[in-house]
Amino acid sequence: MRINARIGRLLAVLAAAFAVTVHADINVGVTLSATGPAASLGIPEKNSFALLPTTIAGQKVNYIVLDDASDTTTAVKNTRKLIAENKVDVIVGSTITPNSLAMIDVVAEAETPMISMAASSRIIEPMDAKRYWVFKTPQNDAQMATAIVEHMTNNNVKSVAYIGFADAYGEGWWNEFSKIAEVRKIQIVANERFNRADTSVTGQVLKIMAAKPDAVLVGGAGTPAALPQKSLKEKGYKGMMYQTHGVANADFLRVCGKDCEGTLLPAGPVLVAGQLPDSNPIKKAALEYVNKYEAAHGKGSVSTFGAHAWDAAKLLASAVPEALKKGQPGTREFRKALRDALEATRNVTAAHGVFNLSAQDHLGFDQRARVMVRIEGGNWKLVQ
Amino acid sequence: MDLQIALLLGQDGLTNGAIYALLALALVLVFAVTRVIFIPQGEFVAFGALTLASLQAGKLPGTVWLLLALGVLIGVLEGSRAVRAGQLRRLPLIVLLNVGVPLLLAGTLIAVSPATLPLPVQVLLALMLVVPLGPMIYRLAYQPVAEASVLVLLIVSVAVHVALTGLGLLFFGAEGSRTPPFTEVSFAVGDALLQGQTVLVIVASLGLIIALYLFFERTIYGKALRATAMNRTGARLMGISGTLAGMLSFTLAALIGVLSGILISPITTIYYDSGFLIGLKGFVGAIIGGLASYPVAAAGAALVGLLESYSSFWASAFKEVIVFTLIIPVLLWRSLKTTHVEEQ
ipTM for the assembly = 0.79
**CB-based contact, A69 to chain B, within 8 Å:** no
Does A16 share its domain with A133?
yes
* Assigned domain for A371 exists: no
Do A255 and B271 lie within an 8 Å CB cutoff? no
* Assigned domain for B203 exists: yes
Of A163, A197, A198, the CB nearest to B273: A197
Does A346 share its domain with A309?
yes
CB A231 within 8 A of CB A146: no
CB B50 within 8 A of CB B168: yes
Segments forming the whole domain that contains residue B216: 39-58+113-276
**CB-based contact, A198 to chain B, within 8 Å:** yes
Nearest CA-CA distance, residue B340 and chain A, Å:
35
CA distances for B216 relative to B180, B202, B227, B257, B295, angstroms: 33, 21, 10, 18, 14
pLDDT digits (tens, 9 = 90+) for A19-40: 544 447 899 999 999 988 888 8
pLDDT of B174 reads: 85
pLDDT digits (tens, 9 = 90+) for A235-253: 889 999 999 998 988 889 9
CB half-sphere exposure, A26, CA atoms < 13 A: 26
CB A219 within 8 A of CB A164: yes
* Assigned domain for B217 exists: yes
* Assigned domain for A278 exists: no
* Assigned domain for A330 exists: yes
Q: Which of A104-113, A365-374, B186-195, B231-240 has the lowest mean pLDDT?
A: B186-195
* Assigned domain for B289 exists: no
Does A120 share its domain with A224?
no
Does A196 share its domain with A302?
no
Does A134 share its domain with A8?
yes
pLDDT of A21 reads: 47
* Assigned domain for B172 exists: yes
Q: Could you tell me the CATH number of the domain that includes residue A22?
A: 3.40.50.2300
pLDDT of B8 reads: 85
Nearest CA-CA distance, residue B272 and chain A, Å:
10
pLDDT of A16 reads: 52
Residues of A with CB below 8 A from B174's CB?
A: 39-40, 42-43, 222
User: Cα(B171)–Cα(B43) distance, rounded to whole angstroms?
Assistant: 13
CA distances for B124 relative to A197, B121, B258, B262, angstroms: 26, 5, 11, 10
Do B312 and A35 lie within an 8 Å CB cutoff? no
CB A260 within 8 A of CB A374: no
User: Cα(B167)–Cα(B180) distance, rounded to whole angstroms?
Assistant: 25
Does A113 share its domain with A35?
yes
* Assigned domain for A290 exists: no
The percentage of residues in chain A with a pLDDT greater than 70, rounded to a whole number, is 94
* Assigned domain for B328 exists: no
**CB-based contact, A204 to chain B, within 8 Å:** yes
* Assigned domain for B119 exists: yes
Instruction: Please count the structural domains in chain B.
Output: 1
pLDDT digits (tens, 9 = 90+) for A189-238: 999 999 888 888 989 999 999 999 999 999 998 888 999 999 998 888 99
pLDDT digits (tens, 9 = 90+) for A282-332: 999 999 999 999 999 988 888 899 999 999 999 999 999 999 999 899 999
Do A199 and B278 lie within an 8 Å CB cutoff? yes
pLDDT digits (tens, 9 = 90+) for A121-149: 889 988 999 999 999 999 998 889 999 99
* Assigned domain for A216 exists: yes
Residues of B with CB below 8 A from A234's CB?
A: 193, 195
pLDDT of A23 reads: 47
Residue A12 pLDDT grade (very low, low, confident, very high; cuts 50, 70, 90): low
State the best of A32, A45, A198, A251 to mutate against chain B, taking most chain B CBs within 10 Å.
A198
Nearest CA-CA distance, residue A86 and chain B, Å:
27
pLDDT of B342 reads: 55
* Assigned domain for A283 exists: no
Does A127 share its domain with A160?
no
- In the stretch 251-280 of chain A, residues with CB closer than 8 A to chain B read 251-252, 254-255
Where a domain ends, among A249, A267, A285? A267
Task: Flag residues of chain B having pLDDT under 70.
Answer: 1, 189-193, 339-344
User: Cα(B100)–Cα(A77) distance, rounded to whole angstroms?
Assistant: 45
* Assigned domain for A286 exists: no
Segments forming the whole domain that contains residue A245: 141-267
Instruction: Please count the structural domains in chain A.
Output: 2
pLDDT of A22 reads: 46
3-state secondary structure chain A: CHHHHHHHHHHHHHHHHHHHHHHCCEEEEEEECCCCCCHHHHHHHHHHHCCCCCEECCEEEEEEEEECCCCHHHHHHHHHHHHHCCCCCEEEECCCHHHHHHHHHHHHHHCCCEEECCCCHHHCCCCCCCHHHEEECCCCHHHHHHHHHHHHHHCCCCEEEEEEECCHHHHHHHHHHHHHHHHCCCEEEEEEEECCCCCCCHHHHHHHHHHCCCEEEEECCCHHHHHHHHHHHHCCCCCEEEECHHHCCHHHHHHHHHHHCCCEEEECHHHHHHHCCCCCHHHHHHHHHHHHHHHHHCCCCCCHHHHHHHHHHHHHHHHHHHHHCCCCCCCHHHHHHHHHHHHCCCCEECCCCEECCCCCCCCCCCHHHCEEEEEECCEEEECC
**CB-based contact, A372 to chain B, within 8 Å:** no
* Assigned domain for A316 exists: yes
Does A124 share its domain with A54?
yes
